[in-house]
Amino acid sequence: MLTHHVLFWLKADTTEEQKKAFRGGLESLKGVETIKSFFIGTPAPIERAVVDTTYTFSLLLLFDDLAAHDVYQVDPIHKAFLDEFRVLFEKVVIYDAE
């Protein structure tokens, strides 16, 4: 099993309409066949020193293995998402674990 956790910080001037479209773009990634589990989230209202709530969206994907993850990276759905929405990213951090 491989987990792929992506945290997105959208630019400060991103509108609510753009955020809604971005979330829709994230939802489109469900169409990638190698994804076994899928979760989109936003920061929970937890106030603790060790909890980072500064990101805009969290995307958590589970794959069977690294090969399935690699297929996702070049899938046309993933590429289309990046082409359309990368202009909104201020910062992206990815945590992959197996």
Domain ranges of the chain: 2-44+53-97
Please name the residue that has the structure tokens 């993850």.
69
pLDDT, tens only, 36-81: 999 999 999 999 999 999 999 999 999 999 999 999 999 999 999 9
pLDDT, tens only, 56-68: 999 999 999 999 9
Q: According to the model, what pLDDT value does residue 80 have?
A: 98
- H-run or E-run covering 87: none
Distance separating alpha carbons of residues 76 and 17, to the nearest angstrom? 24
Average pLDDT, the chain: 97
pTM score, two decimals? 0.94
- Interacting residues of 14 by C-beta distance below 8 A, sequence separation 6+: 22, 56, 88
Q: According to the model, what pLDDT value does residue 32 have?
A: 98
Class of domain 2-44+53-97 as given by CATH: alpha beta
Q: According to the model, what pLDDT value does residue 70 have?
A: 97
Going by pLDDT thresholds of 50, 70 and 90, the confidence category of residue 4 is very high
Q: According to the model, what pLDDT value does residue 63 have?
A: 98
Nearest 5°: the CA angle 33, 37, 42 is: 120
Distance separating alpha carbons of residues 70 and 10, to the nearest angstrom? 25
Pure H helices in the chain: 16-28, 66-74, 76-85
